[in-house]
Structure 1
Amino acid sequence: MTTETPPTSTTPSITLESKIYHATTVSNTKNYVPIILEIESSQYVTWATLFKINYKAFLVHDHLSPKPHETTTASSTTTQPNEDWDRLDAIVLEWIYSMISIDLLHTIINKTASAYDAWKAIEDLFQDNKGSHAIHLMHKFSNKRLDSFPNVLAYFQELKVLADQLANVNAPVDNDRFVLQ
């Protein structure tokens, strides 16, 4: 008869090492998020969704939230978990910075920013400008003409992309407007 050995006190550190291992293996985030976010684009929702999927896949989704408060106890003299969290945060921050345009990077960069700070700065920038993005996109949608495309399919695909982007900024194109265009 065999008995299972109970989990040891090292189990949490194994989980933490697993998180670090997965995140540190990513060499090119463009393989996972093929969009470079630009200030003028209205692809923020798509970009953010792809990033959130990858944060979860690489077990670093907690870096989209403020850093947890440090709790110290008399028996705890090690700082390893906090150092690991800081290292992961720097990796996630690199991911964010590598997937945005240079103009957007110059707008949000801060030498003391965490990944969460950068994430919030980008989110605030795009969420605060939804109205102006919607106006800009509606203008583009309204001014698309079939004669500037090689075929009807290319024209329709461009209209569909613009309609999706308008929906992402809470200005969906209704079916009647789509048909009229």
Structure 2
Amino acid sequence: MSDSKSSFHPAVAVSNIQNHISIILKMENVQYSTWADLFKITAHSHKVLHHIIPPQVPKAFTTATTTEEKELWSTLDTTILSWIYATISSDLLHTIIEPDATTMEAWNRLQDILRDNKNSRVVTLEAELSSAKMENFPNVSAYCQRLKSLIGQLKNVGAPARSMLTLEEAGLAEEAATGTDFAIHNSS
């Protein structure tokens, strides 16, 4: 195999990572699980998953030994690091960026930041979901979009909202059956 073939790697051919990862991860609209899944799929398909997740093979098979292998590893690591930076919001970027950081260090910092906020995000999102009233939206479509967004965000922080929706549905069915005025119910 010639040196030019061994130096090329599919990850360096990616000119716009946002073509592969269309979500910009933001602190205030946490879609971490979706973003991370898309990122891992892209990293795996470009043969660089080991830069964010430690491989399961013995270390002897993953350690770069020659100068060329070390240079390629460094090039790939900075490429994947730039992918992370290009797919997160400015506030997250400024929170995780550090000089000479590896991709795995940045990945782990980002994961820690978003998982640290998990419990407070669940409480906030559940409160927003339970207080969302159709009368506060211009139409049913906007209301449903908001509910879907909140449910997706809850799912992304590991708190499925199905039981909350079932309770809401049961409450609405009871209101309809008893003829309770929705506005009167909400004002109490």
| Letter paired with 1:45 | S
- Aligned counterpart in structure 1 of residue 145 of structure 2, from 146, 150, 157: 157
Give a deviation string over 1:134-171, Cα, whole Å, max 9, x none.
Answer: 01111221222212333223312321221122122122
Identity of aligned residues (%): 42
Distance, in Å, in 2 between the alignment partners of 1:50 and 1:35 is 9
- Aligned counterpart in structure 2 of residue 176 of structure 1, from 156, 166, 171: 166
- Aligned counterpart in structure 2 of residue 111 of structure 1, from 94, 99, 119: 99
Structure 2 residues not aligned, in runs of 5+: 173-188
Question: Does 2:50 match 1:59?
Answer: no
Partner in structure 1 of residue 36 of structure 2: 48
Task: Return the offset for 1:65.
Answer: 3.0
Structure 1 residues not aligned, in runs of 5+: 1-9, 73-77
Task: Return the offset for 1:51.
Answer: 0.6
Distance, in Å, in 2 between the alignment partners of 1:46 and 1:177 is 26
Q: TM-score, normalised by structure 2?
A: 0.77
1:27-176 map, 5 Å? 27-65=15-53, 70=63, 78-173=66-161, 174=163, 175-176=165-166
Distance, in Å, in 1 between the alignment partners of 2:32 and 2:142 is 23
SS of structure 2 residue aligned to 1:53: helix
Task: Return the offset for 1:85.
Answer: 0.8
| Letter paired with 1:28 | N
SS of structure 2 residue aligned to 1:27: coil
Distance, in Å, in 2 between the alignment partners of 1:29 and 1:149 is 35
Over aligned residues, Cα RMSD in angstroms? 2.4
Task: Return the offset for 1:58.
Answer: 1.2
8 A contact 2:40–2:49 mirrored in 1: yes
Task: Return the offset for 1:17.
Answer: 4.0
Partner in structure 2 of residue 5 of structure 1: none
Distance, in Å, in 1 between the alignment partners of 2:64 and 2:19 is 37
SS of structure 2 residue aligned to 1:41: coil
Moved more, 129-138 or 87-96: 129-138
Change (3 A) 1:168 1:177: farther
Number of residue equivalences: 164
Change (3 A) 1:25 1:33: same
Change (3 A) 1:178 1:90: farther
- Bigger fraction of residues in helix: 2
| Letter paired with 1:177 | L
